Amino acid sequence: MTKIIFPKALSKGAKIAVISPAGAVEASQLEKGIEMIKSKGYEPVLGEHLYTKFSNGYNYAGTEQERTKDINWALNDNEIAAIWASRGGYGCQHLIQDLDLKNFTKNPKWYIGYSDNTVIQSYLLKKGFASIHGQTIKTSSFGVTEESYELIFDILKGKTPKYSLKSHQFNKQGTIEGELVGGNLALIYALLGTKYSFDFKDKILFIEDIGENFYALDRMIMSLELAGVFNKISGLIVGGMTNMGDEKENKQYEESFDDFAYQLISYRISKYDFPVVFGFPNGHIKDNRPLIIGGNVKMRVEDKVKIEF
């Protein structure tokens, strides 16, 4: 079993690269996040194409070559101590065939992001490096809690998170320990069958998603079923399922744990006996608390739920 490498803790004054590996972003959308990095005593260093726009059926943050140039700079520049994605969207799949880890392997650094960034995090984990599945610099329309960011900075300082949750009607009780994999369900699904897919054997899988019709959610869960994923994993954590069903962004963040999406997932996994947690606060939701992809998780699902790294 490969030993997963955790990047070292950041010291005050450390440089954090801010890049846009996927969708285009406006400078005004990142102002608060960049100021927050400064306020914590770190130096944000902006990627050359952070605010570039390239339209090709979708508004990307630059061409594939431009976005690849920025991420490879951030991964390999020895002065950069961590990498924080500006946002998700779509486009990270364009980059993974050309990622360069030559200097990164000698000087590993935290990669922070979620949504489409699941692709990059899967790639890094295949190479043996942990990453942070947490809030991007750009906050979504539903906002983000201050604690969601504070917990990311705690990880950057070397502290690992511990979470206590209320019980959920669809939870399956049990105690398990294992490596955490996963992220955005649509990207886990998109990588299935490729060499960049997560290794699911004996892992605890985390999934979250946004804006999918229920039949599309079922199709993705069925693909995991047909690929044998549920026969391989030892536990499942289900996070936010936001604006599901009709794809209209008209729900409040309090409704981000979609009951029918949970019911659908619960039905599909009913024949398996691994522990399951529903309602974990991570995903396209306001209370987006970070998880460590590649981290070793202790998960106890009883009347109360304990999850700690």
Catalytic residue flag (residue 141): no
Report how far residue 141's alpha carbon sits from residue 135's, in angstroms, rounded to the nearest whole number.
Answer: 13
Catalytic pick among 115, 122, 131, 234: 115
Which contacts of 25-30 are long-range, i.e. CB under 8 A and separated by 24 or more positions?
Answer: 25/50, 25/51, 25/61, 25/86, 25/87, 25/138, 26/51, 27/51, 29/86, 29/87, 29/138, 29/139, 30/86, 30/137, 30/138
Catalytic pick among 208, 212, 234, 256: 208
SS3 236: strand
Catalytic residue flag (residue 48): no
Catalytic residue flag (residue 208): yes
Residues 230-257: b if buried by 16+ CB within 10 A, e if exposed: beebbbbbbbbbbbbbeeeeeeebeebb
Closest CA to 292 of 117, 132, 55: 132
Locus of tokens 């699941």: 118
Catalytic pick among 49, 133, 168, 284: 284
Report how far residue 9's alpha carbon sits from residue 155's, in angstroms, rounded to the nearest whole number.
Answer: 8
Which residues are catalytically annotated?
115, 208, 284
